[in-house]
Amino acid sequence: MKIAIAGAAGRMGQMLIRQIAATEGSSLVGALEGPRSNALGQDAGGVKIVSDIGTAIANAQVLIDFTVPAATVAHAKIAADKGVAMVIGTTGLNPEQTAAIHEAAKRTPILWAANMSLGINILQALVEKTASLLDPTYDIEIVEMHHRHKIDAPSGTALALGHSAAAGRQVKLEEVWRKSRDGHTGARPAGEIGFATLRGGEEVGVHTVMFAAAGERLELSHRSFSRETYATGAVRAALWLEGKKPGLYGMKDVLGL
């Protein structure tokens, strides 16, 4: 699989480049950065970092993108025009940007996941199953912590876990979520799915889903110690996309969940 990387000079981009080099059946053929990046022209695993996406994906079968929403949407349109598949790990997209990704997926296969970690995706399946087994007397709270540099909150992974819990209860997350609490909020409504966001230090990612009732609390939790787990999942997803028809896929498809 011939892979190009968007955000090649960033921490995640560098991790992806190393993972590609270590993965049999994959090769790096393109590296993309923004036009103001100091890394332009530098070597990235045997290819030069460029700012033109057309050049970066000229020889690629798939583009892996962990950048920012506006850039990801622009990349998706061009990748779809060129018939290049995408693996997207970007979070924090607004409804209009999300619709643009869905539109691009009509023309090229796109695998989009809030978290590429295999463990997180198994956690999502467990959360959905648990929520389906426990009635609304069990309050659902999702607590997440990330490093100080993260720009969106709650994290995309926390929201994905919320969607899994809501799916288990057969409700829409947007109708029951509480993203933050401040001041005199009153008693907690039954059926609410709450979020708590922590930021600090260099924490890679911690997510805990709590099911709390009178007399007991069940917790399902995952902690990432390295971004390597995201890179491993992303490259695995890229390999899985080979030969797939246009459409929007997720890590559940990769793992057969």
Q: Which of 53, 59, 55 is nearest to 73 (CA)?
A: 53
Catalytic-role residue among 77, 102, 150, 179: 150
Answer yes or no: 150 catalytic. yes
| 8-state DSSP, 104 | H
Answer yes or no: 146 catalytic. yes
User: Strand 27-32's sheet: what is its strand order?
Assistant: 43-44, 47-50, 27-32, 2-6, 62-65, 85-88, 109-112, 247-249
Report, in angstroms and rounded to the nearest whole number, the Rg of the chain calculated over CA atoms: 19
Instruction: Centre a 10 Å sphere on the Cβ of residue 105 and count the other Cβ atoms it contains.
Output: 21
Token pair, residue 117, equals 């970690």
| Phi, psi at 84, each rounded to 5° | -100, 130
Residue pair 89/68 in contact by the 8 Å Cβ criterion: no
Q: How many Å apart are CA 132 and CA 70, to the nearest integer?
A: 36
Q: Which of 109, 72, 105 is nearest to 88 (CA)?
A: 72
Q: How many Å apart are CA 20 and CA 72, to the nearest integer?
A: 20
The residues annotated with a catalytic role in the active site are 146, 150
